[in-house]
Every structure is written in structure tokens, then in C-alpha cells.
Amino acid sequence: MDQSNYSSPHGFILLGFADHPKLEVMLSGVVTIFYLITLVGNTAIILATLLDSHLHTPMYFFLRNLSFLDLCFTTSIIPQMLVNLWGPDKSISWGGCIVQLYVYMWLGSTECLLLAAMSYDRFTAICKPLHYLVIMSPHLCLRMITTVWGISLANSVVLCTLTLDLPRCGKNILDHFLCELPAMVKLACVDTTTVEMSVFALGIIIVLTPLMLILISYGYIAQAVLRMRSKAGQRKAINTCGSHLTVVSIFYGTIIYMYLRPGNSTSQDQGKFLTLFYTIVTPSLNPLIYTLRNKDMKDALKKLMRVEHKAAKMRRNWKL
């Protein structure tokens, strides 16, 4: 492919899957469907956990934050991606690319830390049930969320600024469908060892440290569940924690494979598909994972649907 056809003096060029035009057409439809599922599913969870007083607990406070995070995460990527997939214009403005780079790194880091905070909530609920509401007070939950977003923002600022400081010698063609940090590093025309080592080091802190805390939490949870005499209690604990573990496995599995693997271990196209998976597929699966295994969430969503049905009926009657 002649990359000069896509060159532009302004901003960056996102090649995406330009080598496979038929694949782009198919992907545009698939991405649109998953984006709509993400919007509807996560918005429903946010509304259900806000409107149902039974769900005003720490667990659903964190779940609501996860849904909000997924909405922001996908919205920072998909609209621009669809514009590039639907037409011959593969460009993105310089400002748009920089904003996407910082926001993408910020929100991705936030999800890593938020899943760790959710595991601590589950650990407290199952291992210390009598003190759960005292330990997980609204003040602590809010402080945990603020810390998660703050640390992630600092991580994004450090890594993205280091990357943008690298001289590119006029290069502006990114072999990706978004302004992602590894793709930006490849544009550099100098040795990038220092930046790559910084990415790896902070990756250990932001990705592997929360994962270790999650595994430790679930080690204690497993012991507590095995000691339970009530089979119903065991099933409820397994269902609740199973949803979180499923999300953790999908998200962390792809993230670790993408960012903590040797640099040349996978092809560029394979890396793009992996990025598609954890940025588009995973956020759309989260609402399904958390609702299908959770009776309280299903009941809350049914109530929300009944309220919406009544509201729609009243609007029709007013029009008549």
C-alpha cells in the first residue's frame, strides 16, 4: 500500500486496517453494534444502581463507577475510529490525537486500579461481613475512587509526556486505529529504550501490582467461602465474585499480553485485534457479566424497564 496517499501536513494518519478495505467495512458494522451495546448496557446499570435504593451499597457504587468508566473509555475511541473506517479519510488532528492519547492511557490505567478496589470490597464483604458497612463507609469509598482516578491521571501524564517529547522527524503515520502509546513510540527517530523501560516499570506498578492484590484478596475469599456452612451463602458469594473474576480475567489477560510482552512477539495486525478486544468487546461484556449472574441487578433492571414503559405510555397519552 502506498502510504503517501494518506499523508497529511496536519495532525496524524491512522492507518487502521487500510490494507484490508473489506475488513474495514465488516469491522465498522461490528464496532457500531458493540458500541451500542456498551452505551445501552452501561447506562442501564448506572440508572438502575442510582434509582433502586436497595443498590445503594459499596459494591454497586464501584460497579456504577466501572460502567461510567467504560462509557468514557469507549467514547474516547470509537467515534473517531468509525469516521476512519467509514471513509477514505484516515486523518486525526494533532490536538485530537494528543487528547485521545492522554485520555486513553488515563482511563485504561483507571480500570486496572478500579478492579483492584472492587476486589477489596468483595474481600471485606465476605471475610468481614459483620464490619462490612463500617469499614466500607461512603467516605472510604469516595476516597478510594478519588485515589484511583488521581494515580491513573499521574501515570498518564508521565508516560504520555515522555512519549510526546521524543523527536519524530516529521513522521505522522500511525500503524494503528487510535493514538496509542506504543504506536506513538514507534514514530520516534531516536533510541527509545529509556521510554520503553519507563513504560514497563509503570506497567508493573499499574497493572501487575493491582493484579497481585486481586489474587491475594481472592485467596482469602476462597478460604472464607469454603468455611461457609450455608450452601446458599456459598452460591451467592461465588456468583458475586465470579462476575468480578470473569471481568478481571478478560481485561488483565489482554492488557498483560499487549503491554508486558516482548516487543516483537506478535504481529502488528494481531496487536490491533487485541486492542479492539479490550477497548471495545470487554466494555460491552461487563454489563452482561454483572447482570446475568446477579439477581439484585436483574430485579433493578426490570423495575427500570417498567418505569420507562410507564413513562413512554404517559408520553403517548399526552400526545393523544
pLDDT, tens digit, for every residue of 151-166? 999 999 999 998 888 8
Mean pLDDT for each 10-residue chunk of the chain (320 residues)?
A: 47 79 84 91 89 86 93 91 81 89 92 92 90 93 96 93 86 84 85 84 84 90 84 75 79 72 56 79 81 72 72 64
Architecture of domain 10-311: Up-down Bundle (1.20)
Q: How many whole angstroms separate alpha carbon 72 and alpha carbon 97?
A: 16
**Facing residues of 174 across strands?**
14
The residue extents of the domains of the chain are 10-311
Q: H helices then E strands: how many in the chain?
A: 13, 3
d(CA 104, CA 171): 21
Q: Which residues of 76-108 are buried (b: 16+ CB within 10 A; e: fewer)?
A: bbbebbbebbeeeebbbeeeebbebbbbbbbbb
The CB density around residue 184, as the number of other CB atoms within 10 Å, is 21
In terms of DSSP bridges, do strands 12-14 and 91-92 run parallel, antiparallel, or are they unpaired?
Answer: antiparallel
Residue 7 CB neighbours (<10 A): 12
Tell me which residue of 81, 103, 93 sits closest to 159, measured CA to CA: 103
CB-CB contact of 92 with 6 (8 Å): no
Q: pTM score, two decimals?
A: 0.84
Pick the closest to residue 45 from 69, 64, 18 (CA basis): 64
Kind of pairing, strands 173-174 and 12-14?
parallel
For residue 85, CA distances in Å to 3, 72, 281 come to 16, 20, 17
Report pLDDT digits (tens) over 78-111: 988 888 887 777 888 888 999 999 999 999 899 9
The residue with cell 498518564 is 156
